[in-house]
Amino acid sequence: MNIAVFCSGSGTNLQAIIDAVKKEEIEAEIRLVVSDVLDAYALVRAKNADIKTLVVERRNFKTKAEFETEIIKNLEKENIQLICLAGYMKMLSSDFIKRYRNRILNIHPALLPSFKGTQGIKDALDYGVKITGPTVHFVDEGMDTGPIVLQAALEVKDDDTEETLVERIHKLEHKIYPEAIRLFVEGKLKIEGRKVRIINPNIKNQISKSKILNFGL
């Protein structure tokens, strides 16, 4: 299966996916890394791993449609079957989503449906939650609203700051995102309305449910 990863920033999730592919935990090829930010560190990670990159800056296109057409052209060229958003900060248009319906995954740093949006970690901390963690979900037309694939939880400590929480949540992200991608690639995810059923979960390498809920962080 051919995968594209979309990033706007540092790309630690991209790195986790690259590593999982390298270790053959995910039997797929990352054919393209797309970034809308010219100096995103994710692009360096892609280059270090010999992965083709595409930089598309929104300001170089008159309309969002033209911007996305350029992306789609390249996705088609690489015959991309799965798109993984990993810190990609642009909303995809409904036309784009329609074209890749049920083939776009995203990782969000809070337990959806709580704390949607771009500041999930800070919002959860400010709200005073005792438990938080990342969510991998399919992308639909809403902001962070698509069917949930995997979630992982950790305890918020009294002395946690945004920085300490970011670090621990990222560790969980780097476990559940490659795992969710592996399940997709192996055809183990079945979307039934809002619910994503994981077919035949008792297979090699899979993170058990109890591990997902408690990584000792």
The binding site for ligand GRF (CB under 6 A) comprises 7, 9-13, 86-87, 107-109, 134, 173
The nearer residue to ligand GRF, 131 or 199, going by C-beta atoms, is 131
Give the C-alpha separation, 210 to 42, whole Å: 31
Which of the residues 108, 137, 170, 174 is marked catalytic? Answer: 108
The nearer residue to ligand GRF, 140 or 173, going by C-beta atoms, is 173
Residues 6+ apart with CB under 8 A from 107: 13, 85, 86, 87, 134, 135, 136, 173, 176, 177
Residue 197 forms beta bridges with which residues?
190
Give the nearest distance from C-beta 162 to ligand GRF in angstroms.
12
Give the nearest distance from C-beta 65 to ligand GRF in angstroms.
24
Instruction: Yes or no: say if 215 and 171 are a contact pair by the CB < 8 Å rule.
Output: yes
Give the nearest distance from C-beta 11 to ligand GRF in angstroms.
5
Please state the φ and ψ torsions of residue 173, each to the nearest 5 degrees.
-55, -40
Give the nearest residue (CB) to ligand GRF: 87
Q: Is 108 a catalytic residue?
A: yes
Closest CA to 91 of 154, 144, 158: 144
Give the nearest distance from C-beta 202 to ligand GRF in angstroms.
28
Active site residues: 108
